Structures are given as structure tokens and as C-alpha cells.
A and B are shown apart, each in its own frame.
Chain A
């Protein structure tokens, strides 16, 4: 299945892009996607925080299965205001 992955703020700096399309096995979870990304972008393995996860623009758990999800964003701790 195909997932659109979005990056923001320091995560975008760490991977050098703001979005990309990733191919995953059916049944893959958010955690599996994250492991694949850390393998591709080693700087993600040394971030000073654990990102928040949003699936299709709603906050999600790391255990969630991605079947049916179109867009996943890993979010640095937010700092609006």
C-alpha cells in the first residue's frame, strides 16, 4: 500500500524534504513505518523527542494499522502561540 508521509519543522530539516510517498506491506502499523523511515534517514533515530503521530490529520497511536490511511505526519512537539 502507498502512504503519503509529511515532515515539519526540525523533522523536515532532518530528512531534507517536506513530503514523500512510501510503499509499505499490507497490515503495516505506524511503528513499522517509523522504523522504515529511521532506516532511510538515520538522523531521525537521534531526535531529542518522540514525535507525535497524525493519521489523515487526526492524532493517532503508534500501534494503529495503516490500512485505509492516506496521509501520515510525524510531528515534533508543537510550539504555536
Chain B
């Protein structure tokens, strides 16, 4: 499962997508919208993507995780559009026979996703200002 969606992410959908009878573990990560950024009150985030390329990159991440870790399946879902504080912006679920590989692959997918997948977020502040988040280099 690799998806970009405007509808809310339901973690149970990812858990069910990856789970199999040979798996003793499913690791799930969710990223959620935080109410502050460097001391400034945030009320919402707005996500935008280069959709087709982002999906290709996410599919590559999934395939690489399956090749490099002893895992059974990987699900990656990222939300687009405006999200309020507390909503889930991204979710990764990994199933495996044992928990070590599931944790490792889940972390590797998230770390690489944040560096390489063409998705951007704009912080909407309580005072109405809005700023694209563009980490240097």
C-alpha cells in the first residue's frame, strides 16, 4: 500500500494491509501535526506534493525496505491538503516475523521519506501568517 490522500489517515487500514499470518510483529509510525514550531503557535499545516513523482519515490522506498530488511510488507500513506493540530500527516506500517526488522525498516522508510519524497508543508500560525517549511540543503 502506497498512497497520497486528502481524506484522514486511518492507521488500522495500514495495519490490516500489511499483516499476515507469518508475522509476529507490525511496527506503526504516525506523524502528527504539532501545535508549535520554534516557539510559535501553529494552528494547521498545509501539505502539497509533486504527486506522481512522490508516489514513485514512495514505491521505491517500499521496495528498498523489502529488499534490505527481513520484513513481509510495507505500507506508506501521506496526507495532502490542510490538516489541523493533532491530525495524522503520514503513516508507515511494517510487518515482519520479528520486531527488530520491523522497527528498523519503519525508521529507515520514514527517515528517507523526509529527505527525498517531493512533498512540502506550509505552517499556518495563530496570527494568520503562513510560511513554507524549507529545510536548508
**A residues engaging B (CB < 8 A)?**
6, 8-10, 13, 48-49, 54, 57-59, 73, 75-81
Q: B100 → chain A, closest Cβ, in Å? A: 23
CA A13 – CA B122 in complex, angstroms? 12
Q: How far is the CB of B34 from chain A (nearest CB, A)?
A: 11
Given known A-B contacts A54-B50, A57-B52, A79 and B134 have beta carbons under 8 A apart: yes
Question: Can you list, as one digit per residue, whether each of B24-56 has a CB less than 8 Å from chain A (1) or not (0)?
Answer: 000000010000000000000001111011101
Q: Are A81 and B31 in contact (CB under 8 A)?
A: yes
Question: Would you list which residues of chain B between 84 and 137 have a CB under 8 Å from chain A?
Answer: 89-90, 110, 113-122, 132-137
Contacts of B137 in A (CB 8 A): 49, 77
B133 touches A79 (CB 8 A): yes
A76-B132, A79-B135, A80-B49 known; A8 vs B90 contact (CB < 8 Å): no
The residue that A80 contacts in the complex, of B117, B122, B132, B136, with Cβ under 8 A, is: B117
Q: Select the residue from A58, A76, A80, A81 with max chain B CB neighbours within 10 A.
A: A80
Q: Is the CB of B52 within 8 A of A80?
A: no
Check B31 against A8 for contact (C-beta < 8 Å): no
> Which residues does chain B contribute within 8 Å of A81, judged by CB atoms?
31, 89-90, 110, 113-114, 119
Nearest chain B CB to A59 CB, angstrom units: 8
What's the Cα separation between A8 and B110 when bound, in Å? 22
B78 contacts A by Cβ under 8 Å: yes
- Taking a contact as CB atoms under 8 Å apart, the answer to whether B53 and A57 are in contact is yes
CB contact between B120 and one of A48, A54, A79 (< 8 Å): that residue:
A79
For the complex, give the distance between the alpha carbons of A54 and B110 in Å.
21
